[in-house]
Every structure is written in C-alpha cells, then in structure tokens.
Amino acid sequence: MAHVTLAGDLAGDYVVSERREDGSLVLRPDTSAGSILAALGHEPATLEELEAEYGPVLPPDGEG
C-alpha cells in the first residue's frame, strides 16, 4: 500500500486506499504505530525499559 506525506493545508502521513481510473486518489490517515512514533519523533521502547525506570505495571488481565 502506497504512503504519501502531505504538507500544506493538510499535513501528515496518509495511505493511498484507492487509485481511480481518472488518476485521482483516495487517502486515509496513516494511523499505524510506526507513523505515530515517526510523527512524534520517538523510537520504540520496551516494557522492560519502562518498568526499570518507573517500577512494575499491573499484569495483563486477558482483556486485550
């Protein structure tokens, strides 16, 4: 799936969800985790790193 980055009145990362015969494109926001972190200028970190700095979090409860 093609990704595009818009700048101007609309800005941010988008995904091309449809290419029409007349050449027009249908875009939807790229809300993937990778795009979120990139937009914030962040890098992935781990639960172990979080717990080392802040202490243990509650365990998973099976819900999600």
Residue type, 1: M
Distance CA 60, CA 64 (A): 8
Pairing status of strand 25-29 against strand 3-6: unpaired
Distance CA 18, CA 21 (A): 10
Please say which residue, 24 or 58, places its beta carbon nearer to other proteins.
58
Task: Answer yes or no whether residue 60 interacts with other proteins by CB under 8 A.
Answer: yes
Q: How far is the CB of 18 from other proteins (least distance, A)?
A: 12
Instruction: With CB under 8 A as the rule, give the number of residues binding other proteins.
Output: 36
Which stretches of the chain bind other proteins, using CB under 8 A? 1, 12-13, 17, 28-37, 39-47, 49-50, 53-55, 57-64
